C-alpha cells in the first residue's frame, strides 16, 4: 500500500536540506586543494606513507600503501591507487613528484598507456617530502579524528615552501572548479623571499611564467600573464618542441603541451592528412620508449619542416591552452586568488606553523629546565637525598619527603626519585645541570622568536633558500615571446598554385591549373557559347564576380573545384544562387585588394572605385550596390595602376583619356565624373584599352582636361575595320 504520510516541501528547502551538504562536502573534502597544495586524498595518502616509515625506509608494494590508506580514506582502493599514481615520479604529472616509484605507472602524456596493478608496483616517499612533514610532530598543524575515530590525521601538512604553486593541481567540484598550473621551484622560492622583503614587489620580475612538467614552449604574453598573476584567472598557450632529422627527413616531437596526449595529436594529424589539408606527411607513428615521448612524422621531399610545424600548431593539439583558475580553500572557504594573495595566505600559514613549533619547543625545554633546576638543588647535599630515600619506610612517601626536604615540586621529585643509584654522584649531576644555562638562553631566544613576526619571517626565508638550493632544478618549459611566433590561419593549409579562370557567355566558370592547361588546351563549350574573359591568378586569391544586377559575388578561388579544359566547368547560376535573368558580366581576381575598378556608363561618366571597397572583414558572399545602376554600363575593368582608355560616342567621336585624371572613390555605387560630353543627345557606346586600338595619330584624340567632347574618327582609322559603332 502506498504511504499517505507525504509532506509538501518547497524545492528550495529540499535543495538546501539535501543537496547543499553534498555540494559543500565535495568542495571542502574532495576537489579543491588547500594552502598546503594538497587535496584531502593526497594528504591522507602521503601521511599514511609517512607513518609507515616510507620517508627513509625501502619501497613497499603499492597495494600495501593503498590498504593502509583506507584507514584514513574510506573510498575504494582503485580511487586511492589512482591518486597515488599521479603523485609518482613514473607518471610525470608533477614537477617535483612526492612519491619515488618503481614499475609501470603509465604516463601523464598518454591516454592509452595504462598503469600496472598495485601488486606489481613499489613506492616510497621522495626525499622532498621531508619538507612537507618538517616538524609535524611538534604540533605545527592541527590534528583531527579520522572517519571512525580510531586514528588522528593532520588537517594540513606544514610545507616549508609554497607547494600549492610548485605542483599542478586540478579539481572539479559542484558549481566550481580549480585548475592551478605549476611554477618552477627556484622561481617560486625566490619570489616568496622577495615578497616577504617587499610586499609591493613586481611578481612577474621573479616568477617568469608557469613551468610545466611536460616541457614544451610557453608563448609569453605579458598582458595575459599579468592578468593571471593578479586575478588567478586567464589562460596561456603552450606548444610542443621538436627536432628535424635531416638524414631521415622526419620531424621528431619530444615534448607536448601538458593539457593533451600523444594519441590526440596523432589522431588530429591523421585527420588532416586524410582530408588532404596537409600533403607533406608520409607517415605518423608513436615511437615513445624508455627514453621518453617521441612522435615521428615522415616527410615528403623538399618539405619545409618549420612551415609544416606552424600549420600543425594551428590545427592540432600540438599547441594548446592552459586555463587557470586559482581556486583554493582558505579556512574552509573557496577563494580564487592571484599569486600575491596566495603567497600572503601561505606566509600567514607558515608563520602560524612556526609559532606553534616554537611554542612546542619552549614547553619542552621549559619542562627539561624545570627538572634540571630540581636536580641542581640536590647537588648541595647528595647524602641528604640518599638519606631521605633510605629512611623512608613507605615507597609512596619517597616523593613527598623529597619535596619537603629540598623544597621542590612533585614533578622534580619524581624525576630525582627515578635517577639510578649509580648516577647519584657529583660528576653526573654536574654534567646534567651544566645544560641549565644553555637551556635558559635557548628558551629566551625561542620566546623572542615567538613574539617577533619579523624574526619568524627570517626563518621562513632561510628554509626557502635551503629548499631552493637542495631541490631546485632548471625550467622544463621554455619561454618564447609572442613576437617570435608566426600567426597561422586556415589559409596556410591551402595549396597555392598558378591557374587560369575562364568565364563564358552562358555563365560557365572553369578553373584550370596551368599544368593541366598545357597538356590539353582545347576547350569544351556548349553550342553557341564562347569564352568572353580569361584571367591568370593563384589558388589563394579571391574572385569578384560582377553581375548585370549591380551585384558582386565573392568567392575564394580554392573553394572552386579544379577542372580540365575538356569539361564545361561550374554553372554560376547554381554555384552563386543567382536570380532569374541575372548574369555575370565580369570577373576580377585579387589577393590584396589593390588597384581600382573602372566603370563607364552611357551618359559619358566614368567611376574609379577603390578595389578595397569590396573587401569585408566577415566572409560575406554577396554585396549589393556593386556599381551605379542609374545608367547603362558600357565598360568594366580591374586595373592595378592608372592607364589610358579610349572612349567612343554614338556620333563617331573618340576621346583618349587617362584614368589618373579621375579621383578614386570608396563608395561602390558612385556615379563617377563626366569624361565624354554629350552632343545632340549622343551617348558613350564603348570603351577600349589603348593597346586594343591602332590609331595612326593617338595625340589627335588625346585630351588633357576632362570632360571633353572628343574628336571625329579619322577616315584612315575607320578603314582598318578596327572600330565598329553600335547605334
Q: Count of alpha carbons within 13 Å of 116, Cβ hemisphere only?
A: 16
Domain with CATH 3.30.1360.40 in the chain: 241-317
Cell digits for 464? 626557502
- Greater pLDDT, 90 or 703: 90
- Greater pLDDT, 378 or 107: 107
Q: Indicate whether 414 pLDDT > 90.
A: no
Give the tens place of pLDDT for each residue, 527-567: 888 999 999 999 989 999 999 999 999 998 988 888 888 88
Domain with CATH 1.10.268.10 in the chain: 347-471
Q: In the prediction, which pLDDT does 14 show? A: 76
State the pairing for strand pair 478-481/217-220: parallel
Q: In the prediction, which pLDDT does 24 show? A: 67
- The distance in angstroms from the start CA to the end CA of the chain is 101
What counts of helices (H) and strands (E) characterise the chain? 21, 33
Phi, psi of 603 (to 5 degrees): -75, 5
Q: Quote the CATH superfamily of domain 347-471.
A: Topoisomerase, domain 3 (1.10.268.10)
- C-alpha 597, offset from chain centre: 45
Domain with CATH 3.90.199.10 in the chain: 32-159
Give the tens place of pLDDT for each residue, 375-407: 788 777 778 888 888 888 888 888 888 888 888
Q: In the prediction, which pLDDT does 279 show? A: 84
E strands present in 187-294: 217-220, 233-239, 241-245, 250-255, 281-286
The CATH code of domain 490-718 reads: 2.120.10.90
For domain 32-159, the CATH architecture is Alpha-Beta Complex (3.90)
CB atoms within 10 A of CB 143: 13
What SS3 state is found at 497? coil
What does the alpha-carbon distance between residue 353 and residue 433 come to, in Å, rounded to a whole number?
Answer: 31
Domain with CATH 2.120.10.90 in the chain: 490-718
What does the alpha-carbon distance between residue 509 and residue 491 come to, in Å, rounded to a whole number?
Answer: 23
Give the tens place of pLDDT for each residue, 278-330: 888 999 999 999 889 999 999 998 888 998 999 899 889 999 999 999 999 99
What does the alpha-carbon distance between residue 62 and residue 85 come to, in Å, rounded to a whole number?
Answer: 9
Q: Mean pLDDT, the chain, as a whole number?
A: 89
What does the alpha-carbon distance between residue 377 and residue 388 come to, in Å, rounded to a whole number?
Answer: 14
Cβ 33 vs Cβ 328: under 8 Å: yes
Report which DSSP code applies to 17: I
Grade residue 726 by pLDDT with cuts at 50, 70 and 90.
Answer: very low
Torsion over CA: 220, 224, 227, 232 (sign): negative
Q: Enumerate the β-bridge partners of residue 243.
A: 252
Q: Does domain 241-317 have CATH number 3.20.20.140?
A: no
Closest CA to 527 of 549, 558, 506, 496: 506
Catalytic residues: 120
State the pairing for strand pair 233-239/319-325: antiparallel
Cell digits for 530? 564562347
Amino acid at each position: 500500500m502506498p504511504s499517505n504520510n507525504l509532506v509538501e516541501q518547497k524545492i528550495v528547502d529540499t535543495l538546501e536540506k539535501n543537496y547543499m551538504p553534498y555540494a559543500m562536502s565535495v568542495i571542502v573534502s574532495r576537489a579543491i586543494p588547500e594552502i598546503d597544495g594538497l587535496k584531502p586524498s593526497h594528504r591522507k595518502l602521503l601521511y599514511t606513507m609517512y607513518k609507515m616509515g616510507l620517508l627513509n625506509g625501502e619501497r613497499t608494494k603499492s597495494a600495501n600503501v593503498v590498504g593502509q590508506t583506507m584507514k584514513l580514506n574510506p573510498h575504494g582502493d582503485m580511487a586511492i591507487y589512482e591518486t597515488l599514481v599521479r603523485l609518482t615520479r613514473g607518471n610525470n604529472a608533477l614537477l617535483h613528484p612526492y612519491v619515488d616509484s618503481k614499475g609501470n605507472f603509465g604516463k601523464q602524456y598518454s591516454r592509452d598507456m595504462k598503469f600496472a596493478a598495485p601488486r606489481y608496483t613499489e613506492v616510497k616517499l621522495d626525499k622532498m617530502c621531508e619538507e612537507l612533514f618538517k616538524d609535524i610532530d611538534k604540533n605545527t598543524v592541527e590534528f583531527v579524528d579520522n572517519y571512525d575515530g580510531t586514528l588522528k590525521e593532520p588537517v594540513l601538512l606544514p610545507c616549508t615552501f609554497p607547494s600549492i604553486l610548485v605542483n599542478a593541481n586540478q579539481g572539479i567540484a559542484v558549481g566550481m572548479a580549480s585548475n592551478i598550473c605549476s611554477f618552477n621551484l627556484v622561481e617560486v622560492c625566490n619570489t616568496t623571499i622577495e615578497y616577504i622583503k617587499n610586499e609591493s614587489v613586481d611578481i612577474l620580475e621573479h616568477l617568469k611564467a608557469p613551468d610545466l612538467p611536460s616541457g614544451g614552449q610557453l608563448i609569453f604574453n605579458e598582458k595575459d600573464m599579468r592578468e593571471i598573476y593578479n586575478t588567478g584567472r586567464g589562460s596561456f598557450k603552450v606548444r610542443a618542441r621538436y627536432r628535424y632529422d635531416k638524414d631521415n627527413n622526419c620531424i621528431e616531437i619530444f615534448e607536448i603541451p601538458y593539457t593533451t596526449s600523444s594519441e590526440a595529436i596523432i589522431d588530429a594529424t591523421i585527420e588532416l592528412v586524410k582530408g588532404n589539408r596537409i600533403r607533406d606527411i608520409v607517415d605518423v607513428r608513436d615511437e615513445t620508449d624508455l627514453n621518453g615521448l617521441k612522435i615521428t612524422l615522415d616527410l615528403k621531399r623538399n618539405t619545409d619542416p618549420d612551415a609544416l610545424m606552424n600549420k600543425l600548431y594551428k590545427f592540432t593539439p600540438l599547441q594548446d591552452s592552459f586555463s587557470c583558475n586559482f581556486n583554493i580553500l582558505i579556512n574552509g572557504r573557496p577563494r580564487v586568488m592571484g599569486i600575491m594573495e596566495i603567497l600572503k595566505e601561505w606566509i600567514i600559514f607558515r608563520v602560524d606553523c612556526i609559532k606553534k613549533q616554537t611554542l612546542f619547543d619552549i614547553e619542552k625545554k621549559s619542562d627539561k629546565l624545570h627538572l634540571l633546576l630540581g636536580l641542581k638543588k640536590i647537588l648541595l647535599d647528595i647524602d641528604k637525598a640518599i638519606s631521605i630515600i633510605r629512611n623512608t619506610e613507605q615507597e609512596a612517601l619517597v616523593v613527598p619527603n623529597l619535596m619537603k626536604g629540598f623544597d621542590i615540586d612533585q614533578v622534580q621529585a619524581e624525576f630525582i626519585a627515578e635517577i639510578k643509584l649509580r648516577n647519584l654522584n657529583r660528576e653526573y649531576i654536574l654534567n646534567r645541570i651544566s645544560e641549565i644555562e644553555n637551556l635558559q638562553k635557548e628558551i629566551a631566544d625561542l620566546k623572542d622568536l615567538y613574539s617577533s613576526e619579523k624574526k619568524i619571517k627570517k626563518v621562513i626565508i632561510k628554509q626557502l633558500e635551503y629548499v631552493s638550493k637542495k631541490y631546485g632544478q632548471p625550467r622544463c618549459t621554455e619561454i618564447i615571446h609572442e613576437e617570435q611566433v608566426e600567426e597561422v590561419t586556415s589559409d596556410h593549409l591551402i595549396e597555392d598554385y598558378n591557374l587560369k579562370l575562364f568565364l563564358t557567355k552562358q555563365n560557365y566558370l572553369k578553373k584550370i591549373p596551368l599544368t593541366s592547361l598545357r597538356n590539353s588546351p582545347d576547350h569544351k563549350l556548349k553550342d553557341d557559347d564562347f569564352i568572353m574573359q580569361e584571367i591568370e591568378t593563384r589558388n589563394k586569391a579571391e574572385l569578384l564576380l560582377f553581375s548585370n544586377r549591380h551585384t558582386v559575388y565573392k568567392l575564394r578561388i580554392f573553394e572552386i573545384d579544379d577542372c580540365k579544359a575538356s569539361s564545361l566547368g561550374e554553372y554560376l547560376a547554381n554555384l552563386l544562387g543567382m536570380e532569374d535573368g541575372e548574369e555575370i558580366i565580369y570577373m576580377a581576381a585579387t589577393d590584396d585588394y589593390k588597384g581600382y575598378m573602372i566603370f563607364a556608363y552611357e551618359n559619358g561618366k566614368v567611376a574609379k572605385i577603390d578595389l578595397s571597397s569590396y573587401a569585408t572583414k566577415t566572409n560575406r558572399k554577396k554585396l549589393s550596390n556593386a556599381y551605379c545602376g542609374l545608367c547603362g554600363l558600357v565598360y568594366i575593368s580591374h586595373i592595378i595602376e592608372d592607364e589610358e582608355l579610349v572612349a567612343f560616342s554614338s556620333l563617331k567621336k573618340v576621346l583618349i583619356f587617362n584614368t589618373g585624371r579621375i579621383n578614386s572613390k570608396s563608395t561602390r555605387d558612385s556615379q563617377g565624373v563626366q569624361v565624354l560630353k554629350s552632343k545632340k543627345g549622343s551617348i558613350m557606346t564603348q570603351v577600349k584599352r589603348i593597346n586594343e586600338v591602332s590609331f595612326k595619330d593617338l595625340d589627335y584624340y588625346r585630351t588633357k582636361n576632362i570632360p571633353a567632347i572628343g574628336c571625329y574618327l579619322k577616315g584612315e582609322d575607320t578603314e582598318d575595320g578596327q572600330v565598329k559603332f553600335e547605334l
